Amino acid sequence: MRFIDRVDAGRRLAEQLGHLRGEHPVVLGLPRGGVPVAFEVARALDAPLDVILVRKLGVPYHRELGFGAIGEGGVRVIRDDIVRMSRVDQDDLAEVEHSEEAELARRAETFRAGQPRIPLKGRTAVVVDDGIATGATAAAACQVARAQGAARVVLAVPVAPPDAAAEFRTQVDELICLSTPALFSAVGEWYRDFSQTSDEEVVELLRRNADEHRSGGGEAHSGALKIPVDGGRTALAGDLAVPAGSPGLVVFAHGSGSSRLSPRNRAVARALNEAGLGTLLFDLLTPLEENDRANVFAVEPLARRLTEVTRWLRRRETVPVCYFGASTGAAAALWAAADAAAAGGTDDAVAAVVSRGGRPDLAGPRLAEVTAPTLLIVGGNDETVLDLNRQAAERLRCENRLAVVPGATHLFEEPGTLDTVSDLARDWFTAHLAASTPAG
């Protein structure tokens, strides 16, 4: 199989990568020649594009012999066996590494024009090059992507020798290679136009991809899901709805005796969708687990499951996440938000929490650790729960508000009361999502 140029190769490669679109991956091009190929892949997958920068560390007296590689973020991949075999002084090896670190920083500044690299933590990383010869650089790039936190690493190339392709199938989660010709001497022989890619072209393609994402905001998508938890041993049913350009996604945590089919939560979700917010309604427990009523009130395990689902969701969606909890689900949402705050990373942060007729008191030990702005909505006639929410509000140290809906009981079945809940939740989420999004 021969390719007209790198654009043709990228478009043909993208045809084989459509199954990754639902994972909302990050596409990483190996500069320079891999970036025009990666640009076409990113465009087809509606994915952000970045470069993955690696520098081979060569033994001083034989630079072609690599003893490792370095990547951004302080990632080091060292072959101890080659270090031992080379018998080179450690100071000499450190000097090589220092020199390559400087070149790595220079290239990052050149290609990204001062913009930060796209975080890979928990994401699917699609590493793209224009072809594989020896495979050393691609192998280092895949290792660096993994070390930077990618949950899955997919290597996608138009052409590679058969032995290299076979080796990579054991090193990455998935290999997509369009052609593995038996008679292989160089990547360029499989292109009609294999002219050099300039630094300026790389910068321009990265800029174009960023502009398209800022203006397009992504496409609307929705559907029924099976969400793997417990290491893949359990699957939870869910319903996802993400309007085009959504600034954030609200994950619903249902209460005791409820599910993703709750008419009240679905009504709130529709109102949020109409306001442009994404929603995920899912069952915290399987039908078998629900048979044991103790599971319904086990707040800490429910919070762990909510956290696990959130991490899975972040691999698919790139927008901030909020929680909407009802009844005991509100306690699980607050507990999970406290866990996210304790993790300390921006990738884990919860943008805002809303509780409807919730039992935040059940998250008592963790309430003071919640940092996400929290809105507690309670019916004015739900006196016991209202008192519990007042006590919980006093224990919260984050921005919080208690909103009492006059005339409403616990289930907000009175005319107009659920609409009030929807309006309050919508305004709380949109205000705090706007506050959490950096300008520009």
Length of the chain: 440
CB atoms within 10 A of CB 231: 7
At residue 277, the 3 state secondary structure works out as coil
Is the bond preceding residue 366 a cis peptide, omega within 30 degrees?
no
The pLDDT of residue 54 is 87
Check: CB of residue 277 under 8 Å from CB of residue 248: yes
Distance CA 285, CA 236 (A): 7
Q: How many helices (H) and strands (E) does the chain have?
A: 14, 16
Contacts of 369 (CB under 8 A, 6+ apart): 338, 341, 342, 397
The pLDDT of residue 347 is 60
Question: Angle 199-216/34-45 helices, nearest 10 degrees?
Answer: 10
- 43-62 burial, b at 16+ Cβ within 10 Å, e below that, comes to bbbebbbbbbbbbbbbbeee
Distance CA 81, CA 36 (A): 35
What predicted TM-score, i.e. pTM, was given to this entire model?
A: 0.54
The pLDDT of residue 355 is 97
The pLDDT of residue 197 is 93
pLDDT tens for each residue of the chain, 440 residues long: 899 999 999 999 999 999 988 777 899 999 999 999 999 999 999 889 999 998 878 777 776 666 777 888 777 777 777 778 877 777 877 888 888 888 888 888 899 877 778 888 888 999 999 999 878 789 889 988 998 888 899 999 999 999 999 999 999 999 999 999 999 989 999 999 999 999 999 999 998 888 776 544 456 677 888 888 887 788 888 899 988 778 899 999 987 667 888 889 999 999 998 888 999 999 988 888 877 877 877 899 999 999 999 988 887 787 899 999 999 999 999 999 999 999 876 667 899 999 999 999 999 889 999 999 999 999 999 999 999 999 999 999 999 999 999 999 999 999 999 999 999 999 999 999 876 654 33
The pLDDT of residue 225 is 83
Burial of 212 (0-12, 13-18, 19+ CB in 10 A): middle
The pLDDT of residue 216 is 46
The pLDDT of residue 218 is 55
